[in-house]
Amino acid sequence: MNISLIGKKALVGGSSGGIGKAIAMQLAESGASVTLMSRSEEKLKNIVSQLPTYHGQVHQYLTVDFSDFQSFQKIITNYYSTYSVDILVNNTQGPPAGGALEKKVPDYQEAFDLLFKTVVLTTELALKGMMEKNWGRIINVASVSVKEPLSYLALSNSIRAAVVTWAKSLATDVGKYQITVNNVLTGYFDTDRIAQLNAKKAEQMGVPESHVRSEMEQKVPLQRIGDPKEYGYLAAFLASDKAAFITGTNIPIDGGLLKTL
């Protein structure tokens, strides 16, 4: 099956590394022109230079801080005043780890701005162009924790659950415009985020990080942590015409980690 995104324009959040970068790379491999979006301009410049241009694509980047909503709002609104996109991948860095007893109301507000408000704003701005074209793809990078909460990620558990239920409502409203909206429930992937979480857990438990990683791998039926490239393959499929009848879904990519149906 050939995935062709030639002529499509994509905006990918959190794309200076990890899952976001892998998605951006695969969308470009499939022919899309990609706008990267993240905090590190140096990393973004480097990745833009790596993106394939087999089909004459033009790639660019936006330097944004998702945790500063006011600044983000200005930058993303200005971007959409000039550009429209066919494919939007909503992805940001995760909020700080910690359990429910550790987090206070201001922590939840900050996480809400980071994970929810930025997603809703970016999507609202993208929808105008998608509706005019009668075609669009919205892919939200979520987490398996919306189905099976992780005790040490109280903020992420809570706010990402709000994102996926909002997305389900949105999918119903925009379906008549041939716009699909899907959530990808992320399991354990070999990223800097996982390394940071493992380091914190190892420190708390007083064990080597290698021990924490090994335990994590053993929880996955496939007995390994995912390669971000594998995530990119799923995103490219969901962004294509091949996935035109898939919308309003929560799709786990977790090596079988989730125990629920």
pLDDT value at 242 more than 90: yes
pLDDT score of 163: 98
For residues 235 and 189, is the Cβ–Cβ distance under 8 A? no
What is the Cα–Cα distance from 141 to 143, expressed in whole angstroms? 7
What is the Cα–Cα distance from 138 to 174, expressed in whole angstroms? 11
Q: How confident is the model at residue 220 (pLDDT cuts 50, 70, 90)?
A: very high
Buried b / exposed e along 172-203 (16+ C-beta atoms within 10 A): eebeeeebbbbbbbbbbbebebbeebbebbbe
Q: How confident is the model at residue 217 (pLDDT cuts 50, 70, 90)?
A: very high
CATH topology (fold) of 9-188+227-253: Rossmann fold (3.40.50)
pLDDT score of 181: 98
pLDDT value at 205 more than 90: no
pLDDT score of 75: 98
- Residues 158-165: contacts with CB under 8 Å, at least 24 apart: 158/108, 158/111, 159/95, 159/108, 159/111, 159/112, 159/114, 159/115, 159/116, 160/115, 162/112, 162/115, 162/116, 163/90, 163/115, 163/116, 163/119, 164/140, 164/250
Q: How confident is the model at residue 233 (pLDDT cuts 50, 70, 90)?
A: very high
The angle formed by the CA atoms of residues 137, 141 and 145, to the nearest 5 degrees, is: 140
- Residues 120-127: contacts with CB under 8 Å, at least 24 apart: 120/166, 121/72, 121/73, 121/76, 122/11, 122/13, 122/76, 122/88, 122/90, 123/88, 123/90, 123/170, 125/76, 125/77, 125/80, 126/11, 126/80, 126/84, 126/85, 126/88, 127/174, 127/179
Q: How many residues in total does the chain contain? A: 261
For residues 233 and 3, is the Cβ–Cβ distance under 8 A? no
DSSP state at residue 154: H
Cβ count within 10 A of residue 39: 16
Please write the tens of the pLDDT for every residue from 143-163. Answer: 999 999 988 899 999 999 999
Three-state SS at 162: helix
pLDDT score of 69: 97
**Where do the structural domains in the chain lie, given as residue ranges?**
9-188+227-253
Which pair of structure tokens corresponds to residue 232? 């990119």
- Range in 34-48, 56-70, 101-115, 205-219 with the lowest mean pLDDT: 205-219
Please write the tens of the pLDDT for every residue from 123-149. Answer: 999 999 999 999 999 999 999 999 999
pTM listed for this prediction: 0.95
Which of 68, 125, 126, 109 is CA-nearest to residue 92? 68
- Range in 77-81, 114-118, 213-217 with the lowest mean pLDDT: 213-217
In single-letter form, the type of residue at position 199 comes to A
Q: How confident is the model at residue 97 (pLDDT cuts 50, 70, 90)?
A: confident
Computed over every residue of the chain, the mean pLDDT equals 96
What is the Cα–Cα distance from 253 to 63, expressed in whole angstroms? 28
